[in-house]
Amino acid sequence: MIPVEKLVDQVRAYNPNSNTKLISEAYEYGKLMHEGQTRHSGEPYFSHPAEVSMLLAQQNLDDSTIITALLHDVIEDTPATYKDVAKRFGVDVAQLVDGVTKLTNLELSSNDAKQAENVRKLLLAMSKDVRVILVKLADRLHNMRTIKHMRSEKQVQKAHETMDIFAPLAGRMGMQWMRDELEDLSFRVLNPEGRNSILRRFLTLRNQTEDVIPKITHDIRDVLEKAGIEAEVVGREKKPYSVWRKMQEKGEGFSRLSDIYAFRILTVNEEDIYKALGAVHNRWTAVPGRFKDYLSQPKSNGYRSVHTTVSGRDGKRVEIQIRTRQMHDVAETGVAAHWSYKDGHRVENPFAVDPFKWLASLTERFGNSDDQDHEEFMEHVKLDMFADQVFCFTPKGDVIQLPRGATPIDFAYTIHTRIGAACVGAKVDGRRVPLWTRLRNGQSVEITTAEGQRPQSSWIDIAVTGRAKSAIRRALREEHRDGYVRLGAELARVALEHVGKKSTDKALMTAAKKMGLKDKDALLARLGSAEMTASDLVGALYPELLTESDNEDNLPASEIIGLNPGQYAQPGHCCQPLPGERIVGIATRGKGVVFHTIHCEKLADYEDQSNRWIDLRWTQGRNDPNNNVTIHVTMANDPGVLGRICTLIGEQHANIADLQFMERKPDFYLMSIEIQVRDVEHLHNVMTAIEADSDVASVSRTRLGSNGV
């Protein structure tokens, strides 16, 4: 564990005016609150917050951020409260800790609809104080560095989440070093063979050519010295994942890649950047099409640099980035540079971007969440996170920032939705071009509009930006919405009657809810516009009524794996775990194991008995409906309703094991029904079918009282 003295020394080195007494108090308070807790590795849990705080101290961040890192789990995992933290360390720290806690509780790897909503919450938390996400990124980085101690399925889940959300977010914030490491750590989990193959090729290349990095570094220094340019030169091999991604994008083998090496030239001033560029180009041949100037057109996160690729020693192509030391500080720490300290004072780096303006530009691109469904929102977020940038000009000389691969359609919608909708043509550098033309840096674009023009369906495939795609889809739906809804209603009626069901408002609303759509009209519009099929609708409500595949019938039954030889397992009565759910086993005094769902409250009784915990999981399979689970159903007190509910359960191939009336009211009954299902997916299907009935007010799964282990 990092001792408090080492952390304090690290902070004092860049901020002699730091309140190190308060940092020490936070260290001791966090250590006390987490006392007795351990990580998966067996280390004391507080070693994690201490490491996270050191990561942030190495970025020269302010006291509040360092203290937040030390306390970022106390509100969630210990008896400490918001009031306790605010009283001891101030409201600023308490709000930051609370913000990090809320981010930790977001299920970013859940289903699409929930993931989209939680990413919105993540962006909202960032908009209040960017330091919240700085702590969360450092927290994720340390967890990824120690991920080998987690269960294998948890490793895969966290790696996907990191690759999809946190790594691109770090890059979008300008923290490229962190993005590179997060991607590489995720790559190690998700594709270990692919990563190892890159490392082996690097090793083979070194054996064949020796280590060329010191040689090329020496060559560049020699060129700069002869030109009288004072600069620092640093070279490195690119990270395995970066190389792998380039191989996939370009469809080329390792030996044909032009930029597996990267070199940085850090000059004293801006004037020397272009002098250094000229000296490099005079010495080596520049590779056409590989020059990028982020000085005249900086990235929105403050990144400034000049990039070029040249044919260097022995004809090897190398990428060279040229920037000043101040620009490099922003390139390394990105938005975090806004809070950096040096010699006890905030660093006034002229190239550091205002994080609040950056956030405003980021969230503005995501548009109004009410106008986007979850698929469009996530498409928009990921495009904005991953996109390299292209800068084009309007006829008046205004700069329009777009992702790589953008077209005049994207350009038009970026200016204004009205301009995009009325677009009929485009001129690039004065020449008329098709709307599908891919724009390049520095081009001047003029959009031609016409009154009465409407977006075309083909534009969705032409557009790249989420803003354009979302606006086009919305316009197309609105234009034909009434007709699509009418057609969808008829298709829904026929499809449901075909399986013996009625197309009621309640059924359609239930299906819309399950499919993550706003309301039944949104569902019908998609059905009528062929964005979804009638089978999708029936499958959402009554999947058991669709023809089941032979492959599923031939699957073996699910089994629990992770037990030691001679051990047997039984489900906990408290949570009634089903195949397909995440489970944890608790060893009993004999050879038996009682297993629970991962969220079962009973597990809290065994937090201090980690030696009894057993990592279990289900195999995939096709089970008989013999797993008991209890549901509560509130239904109208009308003739025939109970019989209809029992019929629905039978149609879904589930059995009724027990049925009890919990409450009898003149208008409604509350019933407890114990049913037997195959797995958790089967349970969800049964509950959806019941919920779709017009006379059902609510249906929920019931967790029974615990029975001990």
Q: Which of 78, 70, 87 is nearest to 20 (CA)?
A: 70
What is the tally of structural domains in the chain? 3
Residues 198 and 156 in one domain: no
- Of 190, 209, 227, the one marking the end of a domain is 190
Q: Kindly report the CATH number assigned to the domain that includes residue 262.
A: 3.30.460.10
Q: What integer pLDDT is reported at residue 617 of this predicted model?
A: 82
Task: Look at residue 235 and tell me if it is in a domain.
Answer: yes
Task: Look at residue 276 and tell me if it is in a domain.
Answer: yes
Q: What integer pLDDT is reported at residue 448 of this predicted model?
A: 93
Residues 199 and 144 in one domain: no
Q: Say whether pTM exceeds 0.85.
A: no
Q: What integer pLDDT is reported at residue 278 of this predicted model?
A: 92
Residues 165 and 28 in one domain: yes
Q: What integer pLDDT is reported at residue 464 of this predicted model?
A: 85
Q: What integer pLDDT is reported at residue 288 of this predicted model?
A: 78
Token pair for 57: 């101290």
| Structural domain containing residue 180 | 4-190
d(CA 460, CA 449): 18
**DSSP code string of 238-301:** PPHHHHHHHHHHHT--GGG-S-SEEEEEEESSSHHHHHHHHHHHHHSEEPTT--EETTTS--TT
Task: Look at residue 413 and tell me if it is in a domain.
Answer: no
**DSSP code string of 635-684:** EE--TTHHHHHHHHHHHTT-EEEEEEEEEE-SSEEEEEEEEEESSHHHHH
Q: What integer pLDDT is reported at residue 614 of this predicted model?
A: 84
Task: Look at residue 183 and tell me if it is in a domain.
Answer: yes
Task: Look at residue 597 and tell me if it is in a domain.
Answer: yes
Q: What integer pLDDT is reported at residue 709 of this predicted model?
A: 43
Q: What integer pLDDT is reported at residue 460 of this predicted model?
A: 85
Residues 561 and 649 in one domain: yes
Residues 609 and 669 in one domain: yes
Which residue bears the tokens 């809320």? 102
- Of 131, 160, 190, the one marking the end of a domain is 190
Task: Look at residue 593 and tell me if it is in a domain.
Answer: yes
Task: Look at residue 241 and tell me if it is in a domain.
Answer: yes
Q: Which of 205, 216, 237 is nearest to 313 (CA)?
A: 216
Phi first, then psi: give them for residue 690, nearest 5 degrees.
Answer: -70, -45
Token pair for 349: 């780096």
Q: Kindly report the CATH number assigned to the domain that includes residue 112.
A: 1.10.3210.10
Q: Are strands 655-664 and 668-677 parallel, antiparallel or unpaired?
A: antiparallel
Q: What integer pLDDT is reported at residue 143 of this predicted model?
A: 92
Residues 150 and 267 in one domain: no
Residues 570 and 654 in one domain: yes
Work out the burial of residue 311: count CB atoms within 10 Å of its CB; fewer than 13 is exposed, 13-18 middle, 19 or more buried. Answer: middle
Residues 223 and 122 in one domain: no
d(CA 472, CA 455): 6
Give the residue ranges of the chain where pLDDT is below 50. 110-114, 366-372, 383, 386-387, 547-553, 705-709
d(CA 159, CA 162): 5
**DSSP code string of 160-181:** HHIIIIIHHHHHHTT-HHHHHH
Q: What integer pLDDT is reported at residue 46 of this predicted model?
A: 93
Task: Look at residue 394 and tell me if it is in a domain.
Answer: no
Token pair for 348: 């006034």
Residues 167 and 204 in one domain: no
The 10s digit of each residue's pLDDT in 295-343 is: 877 876 678 899 998 886 666 778 899 999 888 888 877 777 666 666 5
Residues 331 and 184 in one domain: no
**DSSP code string of 216-238:** HHHHHHHHHHHTT--EEEEEEEP
Q: Kindly report the CATH number assigned to the domain that includes residue 703.
A: 3.30.70.260
- Of 170, 190, 210, the one marking the end of a domain is 190
Residues 210 and 184 in one domain: no
Residues 60 and 183 in one domain: yes
Residues in the chain: 709
Give the residue numbers annotated as catalytic, written as ranges.
76-77
